Chains A and B, each alone.
Chain A
């Protein structure tokens, strides 16, 4: 399988990564090289095989529903590019 330029733009949009028009052909080439590399898996017979869900058998652990992190709001926004009154400030989200 290979991707066309429209597909490259669609994938970039899904991944929320900006691509300029002149980047698209090069990116298309690179992605197609990677897809060609994984093509050989088409020949593998996986009839009746379960997909791996856990690489080492393990039981999903649960924990008691209590607060364990008391770091506080200052810490939470401590690395924010822009924050105000313990809010993360972003461009308008809803029209």
Chain B
């Protein structure tokens, strides 16, 4: 049974098509893996019965020859996607008990294509975080251990405060950990400032944030509406291409969704990249960048060059302003989006002496510290007297950031290669110091992409000195996700298969 969980999503899909494995067999194997992997805390809600019912229905369809693109394949779903009748809380206490009466567009499309839901995945609360440590349900342990780590001590630490274990990244920490630990074939995730790409890089998996508007946000618990985007995390570039095809597409219910046909992204796997121009932005070489990240980046350049791409140095002059501008824009939009959580219509209610008292007590009790901080910063920068100085200014800077990319692309660049993260995964509890900004620096390479609305993919490209995965990021032109898949595949092939960690957690 465990062999089944070692297959990639593409291999499982082919096996289902060839009828050499049933959805029920696959689903049962992954439910067992999910049970054994409970210590990692990747899942916050498990849907055993529903999964088996969906698998049974899928097998009935397969018997009739009705085989969808994801037929029978068990997936994990990030907790911010509305899943009908199932726990949907964006890992926050303020949505305590919330079970939506509707299905998000993205997940509805997965079920339309035949996939099976194993459960809801852990994440930073309201997607605010880069380590999955702000979740109401506690941190997620990465399935990766530093070289030489004691496996028995690590397994024991799972039951406690998880000190000494590593973060999977965030906010899609549960998604990344579950994929890397083979607790699902693939997972849905979301990205506002790097929340797909950074955890993918930390866990040796592939994650793509498509162009803003490529996937519908309808039914996704909103964080920052002009930055949020849905995307998959999976084991291989091919797997993520297969998943994105099902997730993407125009939705009239999301007025920011773009009406463009969805290509069969899998066709881009193996396509030649000869003659593609890859930009290397000098501003991404930051002060104090670790030598091994720099070396990884140079290796990536060489691999693309070997595949026939042309490498050019480019300048994205406003790169440094992206992170501070993001920490104005995102909290501002969050303060607006999270105003709806007031204890009236859903979720937690803390009684108060009057309506205002109820609001204040409910929100104090329901939101975690990081969320409260960001709502307050957002409220401040939007408040009278400060709106122009902060929010409008940040939005102008956003225009400049996007313009930098537009200029590079107009000059003939097809994609841009950068590191994905400034380091490998760090320890749980290591960065939750007094300074909230320390955690924010994890997103330095990724936020520019959300600020400009562009597609970005993280692909495993190396191993650190401590034996941990390192990833590279490719940033593409709007709606050219296929180019990203082709280029990422070159890197993936050049590096070779990323050996995922053996199960020490069971």
Q: Is B138 an interface residue (CB 8 A)?
A: no
Residues of chain A from 51 to 95 with CB closer than 8 A to chain B in the complex: 51-56, 58, 60-61, 63, 71, 75, 77-82, 88, 90-93
Q: Which of A16-65 contact B (CB under 8 A)?
A: 16-19, 27, 29-31, 33-35, 37-41, 44, 46, 49-56, 58, 60-61, 63
CB atoms of A38 and B355 under 8 A apart: no
Which B residues from 344 to 369 make CB contacts under 8 A with A?
Answer: 344-349, 351-361, 363-364, 367
- Chain A residues with CB under 8 Å of B328's CB are 38, 41
Check B375 for interface membership: any CB of A closer than 8 A.
Answer: yes
- Chain A: minimal CB distance from B108 (Å): 15
Contact of A41 among B324, B343, B375 (CB under 8 A): B324
Is the pair B349, A82 in contact by a Cβ cutoff of 8 Å? yes
What are the residues of chain A within 8 A of B357 when measuring CB–CB? 91
Interface size band for B: 35 or more
Contact between A37 and B437, CB atoms less than 8 A apart? yes
| A79 with B364: CB separation less than 8 A | no
B308 within 8 A of A: no
**Which segment, of B72-80, B109-117, B395-403, faces chain A?**
B395-403
**Contact across chains for B373 and A30 when beta carbons are under 8 A apart:** yes
Residues of A within 8 A of B361 (CB): 18
Main secondary structure of the interface of A (DSSP, over half): loop
Binding site for A on B (CB under 8 A): 97-102, 211-213, 226-227, 252, 255-256, 258, 318, 320-321, 324-325, 327-328, 335, 339, 342-349, 351-361, 363-364, 367, 372-373, 375-377, 379-380, 383, 386, 389-390, 392-400, 402, 434-437, 440, 451-453, 478
Give the number of residue pairs across the A-B interface with Cβ within 8 Å.
161
- CB contacts (< 8 Å) of A82 on chain B: these are 349
A56–B455 Cα distance when bound, in Å, is: 11
**10 A-B pairs with least C-beta separation:** A55-B453, A51-B395, A81-B349, A18-B360, A79-B346, A18-B364, A46-B396, A38-B324, A52-B398, A16-B359
Cα separation A32 to B97 with both chains bound (whole Å): 35
Contact status of A80 and B390, CB under 8 A, knowing A14-B383, A51-B399, A56-B478: no
A79 with B97: CB separation less than 8 A: yes
Q: List 5 A-B contacts (CB under 8 A).
A: A16-B342, A17-B364, A29-B434, A35-B377, A90-B355
> How close is A37's CB to chain B, nearest CB, in angstroms?
5
CA distance A77 to B320 in the complex (A): 46
Residues in B with CB closer than 8 Å to A92 are 354-355
Given A16-B359, A30-B373; A44-B397 close (CB under 8 Å): yes
Whether B355 contacts A51 by the Cβ 8 Å rule is: no
Write the nearest CB–CB distance from A93 to chain B, whole angstroms.
Answer: 5
| Interface contact A17-B376, CB-CB below 8 Å | yes
Give bound CA distance, A29 to B379, whole Å: 16
Report whether B354 and A49 are in contact in the complex, using a CB–CB cutoff of 8 Å. no
Residues of A within 8 A of B324 (CB): 37-41
CA distance A19 to B363 in the complex (A): 10
B395 touches A52 (CB 8 A): yes
Knowing A56-B211, A91-B355, the reply to whether A3 touches B380 (Cβ < 8 A) is yes
Q: Of all chain B residues, which has the CB nearest A57?
A: B478
- B364 touching A31, Cβ below 8 Å: no
Q: Is the beta-carbon distance between A16 and B356 smaller than 8 angstroms? A: yes
Q: Which residue of A lies closest to B373 (CB)?
A: A30
Q: Are A11 and B396 in contact (CB under 8 A)?
A: no
Given contacts A15-B376, A31-B373, A90-B344, whether A50 and B396 have CB atoms under 8 Å apart is yes
Instruction: Flag if B367 contacts A17 (CB, 8 Å).
Output: yes
A65 shortest CB reach to chain B, Å: 14
Assess the A52–B379 pair: CB atoms within 8 A.
Answer: no
- B453:A63 contact, CB within 8 angstroms: no
Q: A37-B437, A50-B399, A79-B99 are in contact. Are A31 and B376 (CB under 8 A)?
A: yes
- By the criterion CB–CB under 8 Å, are A63 and B376 in contact? no
Which A residues are in CB contact (< 8 Å) with B344? 80-81, 88, 90
Query: Is A90 touching B358 in the complex (CB atoms < 8 A)?
Result: yes
Query: Does any Cβ of B come within 8 Å of A6's Cβ?
Result: no
